[in-house]
Amino acid sequence: MERPAWAPRSIDISVPSVSRMYDYYLGGSHNFEVDREAARKAMEFLPGLPKIMQANRAFLRRAVRFAAEQGIDQYLDVGSGIPTFGNVHEIAQAARPGARVVYVDHDPVAVAHSQAVLAGNEDAGVVAADLRKPREILTSPEVARLIDLDRPVALLLVAVLHFLEDTDDPHRAVAELRAALAPGSLLILTHASFEGIPLPEERAEGAVDVYRDIRNPLVMRPRDEIARFFDGFELVEPGLVHLPDWRPESAREDEDDFAFSGFAGVGRTA
């Protein structure tokens, strides 16, 4: 297999990557046939996956603009994936010039892309770290350089917590990050769920199996469990809702049914 210039030599390009599959769903070009094959297999069970990812990105854009309107000029995006058009730094820096953004991912492909995309952008950086180890994120040199934890920060956990199993104790990880945030900070979160998927659960389970097969288990949590991630935060109106229902900018009849799969919310620290 030909290795493109953007693929770090250290990565195994014969193994599917969740970040590159997500890039493929969004119509990006930073993916390999092995990623496309796994994504197409998942789409056999859940044909609306691209729609779900697009709804996720649309929520991300609305939530970052909301944070900017609230006066927030610092963004910590954990599990950021491969930067695609309309990423956090583009939206935040357009809304608030000088806004600072740190991307965090444990996928070397996502980190390498982020470094390439951010070259020359002094107000944005990338950290190779894992959500399961919040201290490594918080004490990283890039976070120290760009983020002042004594001032409000927007913490983004978008489409990442469903890749942490219960044995990873994701609620503890979120609580540790929350404890480091100044009052007035925001948590911007999305999470996959069987609730809202316009298919029988057994069928959607087939897509979950594809992720399990590539050793990236996808944990579909019910709304009540997702709501627990907001412990210690006050949910911003309209609360924890389906992706297109969070402060929509257009009429909901434009939305594909699959866009309502999973939940999104924004919480504020007291």
Q: Distance between CA 27 and CA 96 in Å, rounded?
A: 28
CA distance linking residue 16 with residue 20, whole number of Å:
8
Give residue-wise pLDDT tens across range 133-173. 999 999 999 999 999 999 999 999 999 999 999 999 999 99
pTM: 0.94
* CA 8 to chain CA mean position, Å: 22
Pick left, alpha or beta for residue 231 (phi over 0 → left; psi -120 to 50 → alpha; otherwise beta): beta
Query: Cα–Cα distance between 2 and 6 in angstroms, integer?
Result: 12
Tens digit of each residue's pLDDT (9 = 90 or more) over 207-238: 999 999 998 899 999 999 999 999 999 999 99
Between vectors from CA 193 to CA 187 and to CA 194, what angle results, nearest 5°?
Answer: 165
pLDDT at 205: 96
- How remote is the C-alpha of 28 from its chain's centroid? 16
| Domain locations along the chain | 49-200+222-269
Options 3.40.50.150, 3.20.20.70, 3.40.50.970, 3.90.170.10; CATH for 49-200+222-269 is 3.40.50.150
